[in-house]
């Protein structure tokens, strides 16, 4: 797993005891789940992979998707079962689905899903989870958030496909999950899962860059410490100033997605701007459901709040970030430019 995680400030540090328990349980549950049959007809299940830069509104997007009731998604509870999704989903239903309760023995009443988050983290057992442990469990990521051809082929791609198939089979709904960790491998996953749709979230790059920069201080304790995904150009970026590093991080993501989306079929991709999600979440859900052939009857029951768009930025600060973006674009050799 990425080494920057170990440098987090106290509020964002991992719980090592929890990680140990989860690792022990994962070994046991993976073995148990192997005994369950999996239908081959679900091998290419419909799944939405959300890609784009961090701090672009992907968490809000997942919360809107979760509220719609049209998709199965990784919850904070299900994230504990990152190696055995079918078992985890069934336990989740036993504990939290009202249809499976008996005289309220467990009394595990959940608060309604909301739209609050803290740098991608939500609160509540059934709120959306970033699900990074699921990706780390199946794929041979090194220091970079990019899989070389060798790393991709050495990864457990068949188990990855089977886990998604199991989750689809048991939930009977298309799956939606964050997948920004594959920003640089979209075409590899498009080949692996032909029925997958890649949903690209877009936001003004200067705002995204400034938000990532501030997250460095909040999460890592210093603007000089790297935060979030490391692109293929990391060796070129690490000697630059912190703001130039962030500019390069954003540009690398956008260039990689521009290239990938130019090669995807129209049925494999959807782009959505943060502003559109805020202004018309129901319209976005309708469009996504239509693309995924998802049942959208439940969406009529959802009343989304009015989302405020925090895109305001001082003009001088915006100009400064645009200067950094232009300078880095000319001095760094990007793989996908």
**Residue range 298-307, pLDDT digits in tens:** 545 688 888 8
* 270 three-class SS: strand
The pLDDT value recorded for residue 308 is 77
Q: Rounded to an integer, what is the distance from CA 6 to the centroid of its chain?
A: 20
End-to-end CA distance of the chain: 27
d(CA 131, CA 179) in angstroms, rounded, equals: 9
The pLDDT value recorded for residue 299 is 47
Average pLDDT, rounded, for the chain? 90
Least confident span in 38-42, 52-56, 190-194: 38-42
**Residue range 236-264, pLDDT digits in tens:** 999 999 999 999 999 999 999 999 999 99
Tokens representing 165? 């198939």
Task: Give me the domains of the chain, ranges plus CATH numbers.
Answer: 3-331 (3.40.50)
Burial, 257: exposed, middle or buried (Cβ in 10 Å; 0-12, 13-18, 19+)? Answer: buried
1, pLDDT greater than 70: no
**Residue range 122-165, pLDDT digits in tens:** 999 999 999 999 999 999 999 999 999 999 999 999 999 999 99
Tokens representing 187? 């075409």
How distant, in Å, are the alpha carbons of 86, 180, 254 from that of 99? 18, 34, 44
Check: CB of residue 62 under 8 Å from CB of residue 52.
no
User: Per-residue confidence at 101, pLDDT binned at 50, 70, 90?
Assistant: confident
The pLDDT value recorded for residue 317 is 95
**Pairing state between β 197-202 and 269-273:** parallel
Q: Which helix (H) or strand (E) holds 199?
A: strand 197-202
4, pLDDT greater than 50: no
Check: CB of residue 133 under 8 Å from CB of residue 31.
no
User: What average pLDDT score do residues 4-19 get?
Assistant: 73
Q: 201 phi and psi, to 5 degrees? A: -95, 130
Task: Name residue, tokens 């089979």.
Answer: 169
**Residue range 44-93, pLDDT digits in tens:** 789 999 999 999 999 999 999 999 999 999 999 999 999 999 999 999 99
The pLDDT value recorded for residue 79 is 96
Q: Residue 265: how many CA atoms within 13 Å on its side-chain side?
A: 9
What long-range pairs does 224-229 form, CB within 8 A, spacing at least 24?
225/4, 225/7, 226/4, 227/4, 228/4, 228/54, 229/54, 229/145, 229/180, 229/181, 229/183, 229/253
The pLDDT value recorded for residue 120 is 85
Q: Rounded to an integer, what is the distance from CA 35 to the centroid of its chain?
A: 29
- The reported pTM is 0.92
**Residue range 252-297, pLDDT digits in tens:** 999 999 999 999 999 999 999 999 899 999 999 999 999 998 776 5
Which strands sit side by side in the sheet containing 175-178, from one edge to the other? 175-178, 47-51, 197-202, 269-273
Of 116, 107, 108, 109, nearest in space to 66 by CA:
116
Check: CB of residue 198 under 8 Å from CB of residue 261.
yes
Q: Residue 172: how many CA atoms within 13 Å on its side-chain side?
A: 1
User: Per-residue confidence at 2, pLDDT binned at 50, 70, 90?
Assistant: very low
15, pLDDT greater than 90: no
């Amino acid at each position: 797993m990425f080494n920057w995680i170990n440098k987090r400030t106290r509020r964002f540090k991992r719980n090592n005891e929890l990680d140990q328990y989860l690792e022990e349980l994962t070994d046991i549950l993976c073995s148990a789940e192997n005994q369950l049959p999996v239908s081959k007809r679900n091998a290419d299940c419909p799944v939405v992979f959300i890609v784009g830069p961090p701090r672009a509104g992907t968490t809000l997007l997942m919360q809107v998707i979760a509220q719609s009731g049209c998709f199965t998604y990784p919850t904070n509870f299900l994230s504990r079962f990152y190696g055995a999704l079918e078992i985890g989903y069934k336990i989740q239903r036993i504990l939290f689905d009202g249809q499976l309760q008996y005289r309220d023995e467990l009394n595990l009443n959940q608060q309604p899903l909301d739209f609050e988050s803290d740098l991608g983290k939500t609160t509540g057992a059934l709120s959306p989870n970033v699900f990074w442990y699921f990706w780390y469990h199946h794929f041979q990521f090194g220091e970079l958030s990019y899989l070389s051809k060798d790393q991709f082929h050495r990864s457990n791609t068949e188990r990855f496909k089977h886990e998604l198939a199991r989750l689809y089979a048991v939930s009977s709904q298309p799956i939606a999950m964050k997948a920004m960790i594959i920003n640089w491998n979209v075409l590899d996953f498009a080949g692996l899962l032909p029925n997958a749709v890649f949903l690209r979230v877009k936001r003004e790059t200067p705002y995204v860059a400034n938000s990532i920069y501030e997250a460095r201080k909040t999460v890592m304790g210093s603007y000089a410490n790297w935060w979030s995904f490391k692109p293929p150009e990391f060796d070129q970026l690490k000697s630059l100033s912190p703001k130039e590093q962030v500019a390069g991080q954003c540009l690398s993501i956008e260039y990689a997605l521009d290239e990938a989306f130019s090669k995807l079929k129209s049925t494999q991709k959807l782009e959505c701007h943060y502003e559109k999600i805020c202004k018309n979440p129901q319209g976005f859900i309708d469009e996504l459901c239509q693309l995924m052939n998802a049942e959208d009857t439940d969406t009529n029951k959802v009343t989304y709040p009015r989302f405020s768009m925090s895109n305001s930025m001082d003009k001088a600060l915006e100009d400064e970030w645009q200067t950094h973006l232009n300078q880095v674009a000319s001095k760094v050799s990007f793989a996908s430019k």
